[in-house]
């Protein structure tokens, strides 16, 4: 079969389109995903450093939540706080909580004997503090906000005392 100049051009065009479509599917410009943080095996030699790290994470996450709460409460923007809590704070919290939950699951026996389980429970309780602060603002429930802020302060003291 003899090919005409038109069929060669058509074949060349098809090859060119196919090549361009394959190049456009390349994911090379995406940033690489971070590797998962290894789950630590707790022992007497590293438990103090671990508890101090957990306490630091707790303090930072709680501070971000409370700072946003007070700021939005002052400006009367309950929906702004809800948006912050739902779309910014909660994903950051869940990432840390999942890590600490994995540490708890891997080291359950050691954590029980070392007496540091309340660290994990207080850390997980942050989600409920956030929910109650959100609901308190949305419903203008002063009692709920007052109770929740007292609970947050008590939890922080527990974390700090166990991390010494």
Model pTM above 0.85:
no
**Gap between the Cα atoms of 162 and 51, Å rounded:** 7
Taking Cα atoms as reference points, which of 115, 108, 117, 121 lies closest to residue 155?
121
pLDDT at 17: 55
Q: Over the stretch 110-157, which tens digit does the pLDDT of each residue have?
A: 999 999 999 999 999 999 999 999 999 999 999 999 999 999 999 999
Taking Cα atoms as reference points, which of 126, 9, 17 lies closest to residue 69?
126
What is the rounded average pLDDT of the residues 59-66? 98
Buried b (16+ CB within 10 A) or exposed e, 104-116: beebeeebeebeb
pLDDT at 30: 46
Q: Over the stretch 1-47, which tens digit does the pLDDT of each residue have?
A: 555 666 666 666 565 555 555 555 545 444 444 567 799 999 999 99
């Amino acid at each position: 079969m003899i090919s005409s100049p038109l069929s060669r051009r058509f074949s060349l065009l098809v090859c060119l389109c196919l090549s361009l479509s394959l190049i456009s599917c390349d994911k090379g410009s995406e940033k690489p995903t971070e590797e998962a943080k290894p789950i630590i095996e707790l022992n007497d030699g590293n438990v103090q450093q671990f508890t101090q790290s957990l306490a630091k994470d707790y303090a930072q996450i709680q501070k971000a939540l409370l700072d946003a709460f007070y700021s939005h409460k002052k400006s009367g923007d309950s929906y702004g706080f809800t948006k912050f809590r739902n779309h910014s704070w909660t994903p950051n919290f869940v990432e840390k909580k999942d890590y600490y939950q994995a540490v708890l699951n891997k080291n359950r026996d050691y954590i029980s004997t070392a007496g540091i389980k309340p660290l994990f429970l207080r850390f997980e309780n942050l989600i409920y503090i956030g929910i109650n602060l959100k609901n308190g603002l949305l419903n203008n429930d002063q009692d709920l906000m007052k109770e929740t802020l007292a609970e947050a302060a008590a939890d922080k003291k527990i974390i700090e005392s166990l991390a010494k």
